[in-house]
Structure 1
Amino acid sequence: MLTGRDGMLAEARAALVRADGAVLIGPAGVGRTALARAVVAELPSRLFAAVWITATEASKVVPFGALGQLLTGGHPALHPALVHSTVLTSLVERCGRARTPVLVVDDAHLLDGPSAGVLLGLVQARAVRALVTVRSGISVPDAVVALWKDVGLSRLVVPALTEAEIGALATERLAGPVSRSTTHLLWQWTGGLPHLAVPLLDHGQAVGSLARDTDQWRWRAGLAVPTQVADLLDRELDRVGRPGEEALAAMALGGPLPLPVAETAASPELLADLEQLGMVRSEERGDEVLVRLRDPMLGAAVRRRMSPARRRRVAAALLAGTRQATPHGSHAVARALWAVHAGQPVDPPELVRSAGLCLYADPAASEQLARRAWQEGGGASAAVALGAALVEQGRAAEAYETLCTAARDAETAADPTARVTVGVALASYRLWVGREPRQAYDDLRRLHADSEAAGDLPGRVELAALGVLVQLFGGEAARALASARQLLDESLPRGARLRVMLASVAALVLAGRTEEAVRVGRTVVEAVERSGSSAMPQIRGMAGAALALAELWRQPTPTGPVTDPATGRWPLPPDPLVSGLSPTAWPLFDGYALRVSGDRTGAISRLRDAVAQQAGGNGMFRAEATGWLAVTLAEDGRPDEAETVLREHPVDAVALVPGLRPWALAAIAAATGRRGRAGELMDEAIVVAHDSGSWLVELGYLIYAAHLDPVAGPARYADRIAEAIGHVDAERLVAAGRAVIALAGRDPTVILQHAHRLVDMNMTGEALKVAGEFGRRAGAVDTVRLAVDLRARLRSAVRDDPARVAGLTARERQIAGLAARGLSDREIAEALVLSVRTVQTHLGRAYRKLAVTSRRDLSDALRPAG
């Protein structure tokens, strides 16, 4: 069976068996030919015989050229009036009189007029059954159009594969599970076209770009153009001519271009022709129209053919076309890259800013910009930007050497500002790459003393801001919160203030004060939004993630952060002007949220992805990804896999969540029947969390420990859970804690109420734990009543909530509901205090999940069945 084509295969087969045939129509590369072959292969051979002809560009210029194999004696000498009968006689001779001829015409859009007329005549006379493939979006002979318009052949549109179908194709091709991020990436790169996806999968596996990592296949390199695909795309590019390829080169080098800029590279008529050919597409974004290539694969093919001279010429033309515009955000990155390609001068500070903006979306481009800035005398800031780009690409030793060279230069020049800049970067290196938070903090203290002695206030502020982060990831959440508050009482530069506020949000979540964390987090998000959507990308991404983490424990289905499917390390959506990609759910948060809700299978898949992603770059959340995956695997009865994860990706001293290692080891001990050892390890994790001031984490560990011993655990930990609840306002976690206290009280009615409360809060895993432990002690009647009631609730929750079935987040459901009531994007944004762009992003995701395309369809899609 062809992936994703079962329904269409059956429909086309039925059209041939029961009627006159079918026309398969779709874009180039969608798999029309493969589908036609599969349809023919399924026809009963005793009843039908297929004859296959293929139209080509060469046959198109010869009358009856495509029918040559069916014209005995040579068609040039044959009178046109005799062609119909000759073709029919040939078909009968080939198929036999006992079987119905099935004439398969591949690429019928390339038929010459006379051949198309013969095909139409044969079908109209019902002399044959026909299976015809046609490319969409281009001119088609009238006689071919008449096949479905007048004669009534079934017109079956062959769509590109969906993301899920590309995932199924990859899984089948690779004989193993494929990470969701890789599936999303392959789908976007190929546009869902099988003829691009299959060779890309084969090429990636052959060269090692596609490799098995944490038991899933993951793409670990940039976009490649396999030879087979390159040949196809080269032929397509050859047909557009030199002016057309120059225009495509501008978009391949410049990304999506505003229409006025695109028109400096190509005339409006040429752009219209390229759009008609399906090689470019235009879209509205805000007040401007952007023109982009149809998919990233085409862009890679164009860049592959671009000589250094053409690259320089195109870049210079793009710069000239945007000379009057004020660059900002992604446009600033593009302008800086064009200047580098064109060999034109650019101020080092502008290069450094642009390198920071594209660091996570395109670290190779970030390196190129930062290296040029350093070569042009950009000094310490350029060296730091270059070091960050090198680390992001896994070249840590090279990054360290770059920073050490910059440090020596700063000492030689006796430049205190440069010394602090590089010192901060080296301390960050020691923290994230060396995984040594205590040593990093000692380095910062020494630098801080030097800055105070030199009267360097900006340097002291930067050092103090990083110090808060080191405390936070060094297991000292309470100390980090106190340091942050002390700093926020001072007058800080905007960037430093936002970074410190961000650290305080995470510390507040760990402390269990999620309401305050949400309030501060929203302030950070709003401040970043006001500063411009492209400003401070790291802060913007982390602010959204911290806010989502706070809301995770307050809402049954929180809105999670999104990320770039190419890397996925940072909770920051890709900028389409830089990468050309749309975002995917951030695997780290997505996996944790699924774990909290009780979906172990989904959590394991996403957390495997997160472990692989966090293993690269600075690996800020490496410990969380590993710890959560190991615990979930152990809970799922797979302790050997959990041990392997811990061995290959050790939980080290850099962690936002304290106590992860003993918790993971406890889960493994419990899964292997060593309950006593598991309890000892959980007590160790509880102490670590308590000493760090992380009440939320401590409460979670207490609940986990209580469930390890179904008989005595609830009673043993009930008082400590009650104490922790007094410090925590996270509703979902508090509900789980109160359920344990109810288990200790042994009142069936109260336990039942708490189990239902957990179901209401989308914590079915905890609900089932409560049900199971209660069932071990309760009488048969009570046990059955609890189990039946819970199962009924779970079935009802799924049946009555289409949004939940579709996997909509709370925010997506909220926005989709308002849109279904007729509110515009701007009205929704004003009602929810969001940006219009944020509303459009959530609404677009809701459309995809509900499989609808407009507001008109939302009401029906959100209405419960029955």
Structure 2
Amino acid sequence: MRQETAFAGRARERQQALAALTAGPGVVITGATGLGKTALAASISRDLPVFWASAAQTMRQVPFGVFGGLLHEDDQIHPALIPAHVTTRLVRRSGRKVPVLVIDDAHLLDDSSAGAVLTLALGGKVKLVVTAQAEDVPEAVRMLWKDGYLCRVDLAPFHRRDTAELLRALLNGDVASPTIELLHQRSGGSPRALADLVRQGRETGQIMREGGLLWWREGDDEVLTATGADFHCWVDRDPDKALELLDDDELRAPVLLLSGRTREALDLRTPLTVAFGQAMHGKATPELTDPKHASVIAVANAWSTGEIPLTDPVLGRWLYEPGELKPMPWPLLDGYVRWLRGERNTAIARLREAVVQHAGGWRWFHSEAASWLAIGLAEEGDPDEAEQVLATVHSDPIALLPGLRLKARAAIAVAHGDLTAAANHLEAAIAAAHEAACPAVELDYLIEAMHLRLPVADELDRVLRRVEGPRLIASGSAALALTRRDGAELLHRALEMDRLGLGRLAWRTAETAAAILKRREHPRTAEAIVLVARLRELLHREAPADAPRGLTSREMQVAALAVDGLTDREIAGRLSVSVRTVESHLARVYHKLGVHSRQDLPRDLRRHRRQP
């Protein structure tokens, strides 16, 4: 193991041990087998005049056996003088430097050797580095730290974060969180066992790179064992053929739900479709015993409940079934719920993992994973990668949430500044959700449409009356409040969504509330400003840049698109205005900024293209 990676996850312990050795008489490093005691001892002493002695079970019957390398067979030394003799030999070897004696596995020392080590610690002429398992050690060794002669550094099993750090160092790259969890559990927190697993994974090809992350892969028999209708639907992606083979409503239900025939599925009234219909209205849903069906309901419930269910760390495609391994948060919904909270970076990281997980096996939720990731990337200003991600599910006939890919396309269009295309995609998404009788999904799209200032308030009000649940109602009510431009009401809604864990929408609403209240010099302006500042800090959002030299928001938008190289006609098409209007806006921009053409416009105007 390379020196720079050997102590990843052990930086604090190494610093403590090194300080005890360089500034004091030495250190005792304790811990169970496989936790890196010997490696740490070697690391802190490698540049010093060191003599290394290792105890062993076979030497326990030999008095002073560990000092065999420092004692000659013909030495006739009284046992009481052996520590002084060892000191003399070490000092001669080290020249003018203070010698360092490493005693490895001191829990295996015979009593005579243990007593000699304690005497050396008392003498102060030799520095000691002692490794031992803390249980069942000779009393003389225990006295080294118990009576304060040497500092003790205890190595505990790795926490998950330590495992992640060592894996990144060993593999020289970012590791998927399910792989971190899997190898953490299998290594038992032992750095040695973890290094052995990595070595095995490299030799067997089980460690591979997918989606920019390193993964541990094991046998995936979902595709290999699929037969009949399952093979036609989930492997061949031919739900029509699968439905021809199925006459049992329980078996037809998931095929219909996941192939865009939502209304037909709801008519079956199976436990799965009944639960799905309840989820689509924000109602409480019953627990389903089938893990795949329960996974469908968890996805359907994600926005209304904000719950992050558990999965296994091997495949991570379905809700957790009790087994040998402990569960971990399901990356698919961990990412989506974190996005709703406003935890952007973590959300995108988890959704990247979800895309890789659901690109294999039956791929029930591949479309949802890719769409949510594309939305996140687009809103973070990376529409090109968002388009690449979305292209992976472009023609896939399997998708649970109707219109979600269209919502992703709208987010990409907004990131490109093409508001007309964004509006068209959102209107199509709203229609798809409405046709599928999924009011909770329709509500989600209508809220986004309201933030784009599309005239959908009446539709939103209609849908809002059909759903239940505080998160759905709070989000929809906040979007409706945008039409009334009532700052106090918007502030109330922002506070409500913040309390419900909807940080992203709370922040967007609070920004609008603060602007309105400030403009009207309302008494609650300070409260709104404080909320905005807190949410910006919590969500790592920067304050919006000031408008350059008094440009209006529309002038900034037009100027930003001009900087991107769009013609007047292209800008007019994107913003749904006339070419003459664009020309007028640009003329005012040139005058205010003191420039004469679009080539003279400041490049940093691009940052004003996207609005909160």
Output the TM-score relative to the length of structure 1.
Answer: 0.57
SS of the residue aligned with 1:105?
A: strand
Equivalent residue for 2:159, pick from 157, 162, 185: 162
Residue of structure 1 equivalent to 2:94: 95
Map residues 389-468 of structure 1 onto 2, 5 A cutoff.
Answer: 390=221, 392=222, 394-395=223-224, 399=225, 403=227, 426-444=228-246, 448=247, 463-468=248-253
**Aligned alpha-carbon RMSD (Å):** 2.9
Query: Is 1:471 paired with 2:468?
Result: no
CA shift in 2, pair 1:786/1:651, >3 Å: farther
Determine if the alignment matches structure 1 residue 619 to structure 2 residue 358.
Answer: no
Paired residue type of 1:129? K
CA distance in 2, matches of 1:81, 1:779: 86
Once residues 58 and 198 of structure 1 are traced to their aligned partners in structure 2, the CA distance between those partners, rounded to angstroms, is 28
Corresponding letter in the other structure for 1:51: F
Q: Which has the larger radius of gyration?
A: 2
| Deviation per residue, 1:734-766 (Å, 9 max, x gap) | 212221211221121111111111111111111
Q: Distance in 1 between matches of 2:257 and 2:292?
A: 18
Confirm or deny that 1:508 pairs with 2:252: no
1:31 equivalent in alignment to 2:44: no
Q: Secondary structure at the match of 2:251?
A: helix
1:214-244 superposed Cα distances (whole Å, 9 cap, x missing partner): 222111126xxxxxxxxxxxxxxxxxxxxxx
**CA-to-aligned-CA distance 1:799-831 (integer Å, 9 cap, x gap):** xxxxxxxxxxxxxxxxxxxxxxxxxxxxxxxxx
Distance in 1 between residues matched to 2:344 and 2:421, nearest whole Å: 24
1:68 matched to 2:68? The reply is yes
Aligned partner of 2:17 in structure 1 is: 12
Unaligned runs of 5+ in 2: 541-612
Answer yes or no: is 1:567 the counterpart of 2:565. no
CA contact (8 A) 1:573 1:582 kept: no
The answer to which structure has the higher helix fraction is 1
Distance 2:422 2:356 in 1: 27
**CA distance in 2 between partners of 1:547 and 1:468 (Å):** 13
Q: In 1, Cα distance between the equivalents of 2:416 and 2:173?
A: 27
Aligned with 1:483: secondary structure?
A: coil
| Contact kept? 2:163, 2:184, Cα under 8 Å | yes
Distance 1:748 1:435 in 2: 49
What is the rounded CA distance, in whole Å, between the counterparts of 1:176 and 1:638 in structure 2? 22
SS at match of 1:100: coil
> What residue identity is the alignment partner of 2:214?
W
Q: Tell me the equivalent position of 1:741.
A: 480
Distance of 1:140 and 1:662 partners within structure 2: 67
- The separation in 2 between residues aligned to 1:693 and 1:152, in whole angstroms, is 75
Instruction: Verify the 8 A CA contact 1:103 1:129 in the aligned structure 2.
Output: yes
Matches within 5 A, 1:671-820: 671-707=415-451, 709=452, 712-713=453-454, 716-773=455-512, 779=518, 786-792=528-534
Q: Does structure 2 retain, via aligned residues, the 8 Å contact 1:54–1:105?
A: yes
Q: How does 1:161-310 map to 2 (within 5 A)?
A: 161-221=158-218
Q: Could you tell me which residue of structure 2 aligns to residue 647 of structure 1? A: 391
Higher mean Cα deviation, 55-64 or 116-125?
55-64
What is the CA deviation profile of residues 262-297 of structure 1, one whole-angstrom value per residue up to 9, with x for unaligned ones? Answer: xxxxxxxxxxxxxxxxxxxxxxxxxxxxxxxxxxxx
CA contact (8 A) 2:375 2:386 kept: yes
- Percentage of pairs with the same residue: 36
Q: Are the aligned partners of 2:487 and 2:512 in contact in 1 as well (CA < 8 Å)? A: no
Aligned equivalents of 2:95, 2:482: Cα separation in 1: 79
Measured against aligned partners, the alpha-carbon deviations of 1:768-799 in whole angstroms (never above 9, x if no partner) come to 2223455677756677753323334787999x
Q: Closer, same or farther in 2 for the Cα pair 1:659/1:651, shift >3 Å? A: farther
Distance 2:488 2:416 in 1: 33
Secondary structure in 2 matching 1:169: helix
- Shift of residue 189 of structure 1? 0.7
Are the equivalent residues in 2 in contact too, given 1:630–1:664 (CA < 8 A)? yes
Query: CA separation in 2, counterparts of 1:670 and 1:106?
Result: 63
- Partners of 1:622 and 1:651 within 8 A in 2: no
Aligned AA (1:644):
Q
Cα offset, 1:701, TM superposition:
0.9
Gaps of 5+ in 1: 223-362, 364-389, 404-425, 449-462, 485-499, 529-538, 799-866
Measured in 1, the distance between the counterparts of 2:26 and 2:101 equals: 9
Q: Verify the 8 A CA contact 2:488 2:517 in the aligned structure 1.
A: no
1:549-588 correspondence to structure 2 within 5 Å: 549=299, 552-555=302-305, 558=307, 560-575=308-323, 580-588=324-332
Letter aligned with residue 105 of structure 2: D
Aligned to 1:147: 144
**1:801 matched to which residue of 2?**
none
Give 1:203 shift. Answer: 3.6
Cα 1:213–1:75 change in 2 (3 A) is: farther
Distance 1:571 1:87, change over 3 A: same
Calculate the TM-score normalised by the size of structure 2.
Answer: 0.80
The residue type equivalent to 2:70 in the other structure is L
Deviation at 1:14, TM superposition (A): 3.6
* 2:352 equivalent among 603, 608, 613: 608
Q: Separation in 2 of the partners of 1:67 and 1:82?
A: 13
1:478-497 matches, within 5 Å, as 478-484=263-269
- Cα separation, 1, equivalents of 2:538 and 2:210: 38
Alignment coverage as a number of residue pairs: 532
Distance (Å, rounded) in 2 between the aligned partners of 1:650 and 1:470 = 19
Partner-residue secondary structure (3-state), 2:316: coil
Give the Cα–Cα distance (whole angstroms) in 2 for the partners of residues 54 and 552 of structure 1: 57
Question: How far off is 1:49 after superposition?
Answer: 4.5
Q: CA deviation at 1:52?
A: 2.9
8 Å contact kept, 1:553–1:730: no
Q: C-alpha separation between the residues in 2 aligned to 1:648 and 1:179?
A: 20
Change in Cα spacing, 1:202 to 1:778, as seen in structure 2 (3 Å) is: farther
Deviation at 1:164, TM superposition (A): 1.3
Shift of 1:18: 4.7
CA contact (8 A) 1:651 1:660 kept: no
Structure 1 residues 75 and 619 mapped into 2: Cα distance closer, same or farther (>3 Å)?
farther
Which residue number corresponds to residue 340 of structure 1? none
Which residue pairs with 2:564 in the alignment? none
Q: Which residue of 2 aligns with 1:307?
A: none
Distance 1:664 1:550, change over 3 A: closer
Question: Which residue identity does 2:185 align to in structure 1?
Answer: Q
Equivalent-residue separation in structure 2 for 1:118 and 1:158 (angstroms): 25
Conserved 8 A contact 1:505-1:546 = no
Bigger RCO (CA 8 Å, 6+ sep): 2
Q: Against the structure 1 CA distance between its residues 602 and 660, is the aligned structure 2 distance closer, same or farther, given a 3 Å change threshold?
A: same
Counterpart code for 1:92: V
Q: Which residue of 1 aligns with 2:112?
A: 114
Contact 1:481 1:508 in 2 (8 A): no
Shift of the 582–761 alpha-carbon distance from structure 1 to 2, 3 Å rule, reads same
Post-superposition shift, 1:658? Answer: 0.8
